[in-house]
């Protein structure tokens, strides 16, 4: 007979918290909805190491052939062409941006990082290559080396001492949050389980910024096969509802963008429409992930887990 579990959480990373029971969260200038735009800059490999793990959600796309020029070149289109369409739209709307950058892209495509830094964007750590997720198949030493190597590269490329972590394809092992906290990560953007930031119960402390994968452009258009017009509607409908929900306490909304997806010529105008819609809404605070995490830390004391 299986051992009975005690009521409550099945891990110690954070306590359960219903959003209706929390103290009021207030964003700067009494705004109600914090919006952080996440621009993914990723470097793909045509031939990853044999032990590398890629996102299983895209498994059907890879097929059973090698070399997979189709997938590789589609992603490379984003770094060669799509990114510049995307930057043009972001420039027009003058919004802050958090860049989730692979360490390999910082090394191999530094001109793209320079374009972002010139615009004042925040650079967050996003793993090494897009074809190498963190998984439990890594040893402790391998995972520590991976995290420290990535964080060091992002610090060098961005010039920032503290950088956040937005994991490649949300890949983690059970020890990843603690390793990130120990490595000095500013925040963790992997867990899509809330509409507000929250504390992870780690030492050193670490804030989790939920990333809304539900309306990430790759999730909706590349995986779920939504049309670009419907993608635009979904994002705007989500923003409208989140703003309504924030009447009692501040909420947050991420908007994940991949140049190989939204940067396609037939799709880019829908990002323009989304940003125009958001800019016209009253009560929105456009901020970087770092700014949202810092604002949260100044308002909400870190909780402790019940024994």
Residue located via tokens 């735009």 = 37
Distance (Å, whole) CA 95 – CA 254: 13
pLDDT surpasses 70 at 4? no
Q: For 77, what's the count of Cα atoms within 13 Å in the CB-facing half-sphere?
A: 12
Average pLDDT over residues 10-23: 88
Torsion-angle region of 94 (φ positive above 0: left; ψ -120 to 50: alpha; else: beta): left
* Predicted confidence band of residue 131 (pLDDT cuts 50, 70, 90): confident
Distance (Å, whole) CA 97 – CA 92: 13
pLDDT surpasses 90 at 63? no
Predicted TM-score (pTM) of this structure = 0.91
Looking at domain 19-299, which CATH architecture does it have?
Answer: Alpha-Beta Barrel (3.20)
Which tokens sit at 1? 């007979």
Of the candidates 94, 199, 182, the residue with the CA atom closest to the CA atom of residue 140? 182
Distance (Å, whole) CA 210 – CA 190: 6
Q: Between residues 92 and 68, which one has the greater pLDDT?
A: 92
Average pLDDT over residues 140-158: 97
pLDDT surpasses 80 at 57? no
Residue 276 CB coordination number (10 Å): 13
Average pLDDT over residues 198-209: 94
Distance (Å, whole) CA 101 – CA 198: 23
Sign of the Cα torsion 278, 279, 282, 288 reads positive
pLDDT at 6: 65
Average pLDDT over residues 278-299: 97
Distance (Å, whole) CA 221 – CA 205: 36
pLDDT at 44: 87
- The answer to whether 113 and 154 have CB atoms below 8 angstroms apart is no
What share of residues in the chain are helix, strand, coil (percent, to 5)? 45, 10, 45
pLDDT at 59: 54
Distance (Å, whole) CA 263 – CA 83: 6
pLDDT surpasses 50 at 1? no
pLDDT at 307: 47
Of the candidates 211, 210, 205, 212, the residue with the CA atom closest to the CA atom of residue 297? 205
pLDDT surpasses 60 at 68? yes
């Amino acid at each position: 007979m299986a051992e009975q579990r005690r009521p409550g959480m099945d891990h110690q990373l954070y306590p359960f918290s219903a959003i209706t029971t929390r103290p009021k969260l207030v964003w700067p200038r009494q705004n109600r909805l914090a919006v952080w735009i996440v621009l993914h800059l990723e470097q793909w490999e045509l031939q990853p190491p044999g032990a590398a793990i890629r996102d299983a959600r895209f498994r059907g796309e890879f097929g059973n052939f090698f070399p997979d020029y189709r997938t590789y070149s589609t992603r490379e289109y984003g770094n060669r062409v799509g990114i510049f369409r995307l930057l043009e739209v972001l420039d027009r709307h003058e919004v802050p941006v958090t860049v989730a950058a692979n360490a390999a892209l910082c090394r191999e495509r530094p001109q793209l990082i320079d374009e972002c830094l010139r615009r004042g964007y925040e650079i967050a750590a996003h793993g090494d290559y897009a074809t190498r997720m963190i998984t439990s198949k890594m040893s402790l030493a391998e995972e520590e080396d991976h995290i420290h190597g990535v964080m060091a590269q992002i610090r060098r490329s961005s010039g920032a001492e503290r950088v956040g972590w937005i994991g490649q394809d949300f890949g983690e092992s059970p020890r990843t949050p603690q390793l990130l906290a120990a490595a000095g990560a500013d925040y963790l953007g992997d867990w899509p389980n809330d509409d507000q930031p929250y504390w992870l119960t780690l030492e050193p402390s670490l804030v989790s910024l939920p990333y809304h994968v539900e309306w990430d452009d790759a999730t909706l258009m590349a995986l779920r096969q939504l049309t670009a017009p419907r993608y635009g509607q979904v994002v705007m409908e989500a923003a409208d509802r989140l703003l309504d929900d924030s009447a009692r306490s501040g909420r947050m909304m991420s908007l994940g963008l991949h140049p190989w997806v939204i940067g396609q010529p037939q799709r880019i105008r829908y990002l323009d429409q989304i940003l125009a819609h958001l800019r016209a809404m009253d009560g929105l605070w456009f901020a970087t992930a770092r700014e949202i995490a810092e604002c949260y830390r100044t308002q909400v004391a870190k909780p402790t887990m019940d024994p």
